[in-house]
Structure 1
Amino acid sequence: MILSNNQTEVIMKNYLILFFALFTFLSHSQSKEDTSIFEKISKEMKDFKIDTTSVPQDKLSRKIEYLRKIRGGFNINEAIEYKIAEERSKENAPKEELDKMEAFFKSGNGKKWLDNATIWIYRNEFSLREINQLIKFYKSSAGQKMADKLPILMIKSVKASEEITEIYKQQLKK
């Protein structure tokens, strides 16, 4: 099965939306006036416009890059690599299309645009002071453990929801 460029774009947009939603979910603590984290995510995503323009080469951008580096664990680039690898494992996976997509996100404009977009997201959500606090946290043993375990927790949670959805679909067929 060969995917068209449009189908490939739709798949990647869905992955990006999923991971940006997860990022938003994990990056914001719920305040008392919020009735639901899902309402907050919906509101945030409704107005979200991706910005892939070059980021300022200032202290805040450098600190964000450093935070992303020391945070380890889950980052959007690795998440996309994981999803591509997952697609490769499927029967009749479109190898050529996946090779192109992987190259795009590892070294092409996709990497640059995604890195820029991610830094802009952090810049719009966190002050320099907050980034410094996050750096301090992720340098701690609890922060290192969180960085190490978070991708596993997220993937297991997504997998659990997929399996439960399948069980639900099977029950509907009965």
Structure 2
Amino acid sequence: MQEKFKLTAGAARGYQVVDRQDPSIKYGVVWYDPRECRWVAEYPGHRPGSGGGIPGFATKDWAARFLYRYDEPQPSERDRPPGRSANSASPTGVRAMATFGHATAERCTELGRALTAAGLAWSDNGRQDDPQFLTYTVTDPGGRTWKISPATNFQISPSSPAQIWQADCAELTASTPVLSARTLAEHISNVGR
């Protein structure tokens, strides 16, 4: 599958990461740090080599993929100035870090129905009012406990908007990718057999 970004040699140091269809959209710069022997990802507006990058990528492609997939982190609710909501732009005009608005009451009901239809015992922590803290506890047929939570908006593919749930089982040291309610319920049910 062809990536939706490409690398161009237009940066003073390293490569610019731009949108494949619209090169005016820039995701940042990747450059090689000889001191670390690794590639570094820099968000737009940062000067490569000034210490603001994210080091440690094995290849320039992985560093570019990171910039393409993830927006620059923003301050948490605790650090946000009074009167500024999570969805309003920061003083630098960059979007908030993560949202959970996709975990609607309807999606929660859909998950509950799927878990019940799969024959799984489950409960939730009642935090549908604040989905970032919402957790479902599920017991698989083998008696193991799974924790289900909504994925962040960055983890959800626009081509698969129903896939918003992820789960992990500490006893199996296993976690799932982001899946739809029905697929996740079936997965937990089948793993537990």
TM-score, scaled relative to structure 1: 0.26
* Structure (1 or 2) with the greater strand fraction: 2
**Higher RCO structure (Cα 8 Å, ≥6 apart):** 1
TM-score, scaled relative to structure 2: 0.24
* Structure (1 or 2) with the greater helix fraction: 1
Q: Which has the larger radius of gyration?
A: 2
